[in-house]
Amino acid sequence: EEARQRIAALSEELERHNLAQRRDGGVVIACGMSEYVPGRDKNVEAVFVRADEAMYKKKDDLKTDP
């Protein structure tokens, strides 16, 4: 549970960073996170695929107006 809280805090920090950077014309960060789901994920590749998809969605979101 502690790891999930740290991930949530990091996500919020990145979101604040991106909002400020977009406002000021600075550099934004697109990242995607995912975690292993027992019984659903057959291998670590599935986790990486979800994280990669989340990153590309964030990239698309960052291209639109805030």
CB atoms within 10 A of CB 18: 19
In this prediction, residue 64 carries a pLDDT of: 83
In this prediction, residue 37 carries a pLDDT of: 94
Residue 29's contacts (CB-CB under 8 Å, 6 or more residues apart) are: 14, 17, 18
Per-residue confidence of the chain (66 residues) as pLDDT tens digits?
898 899 999 999 999 999 999 999 999 999 999 999 999 999 999 999 999 999 999 999 998 866
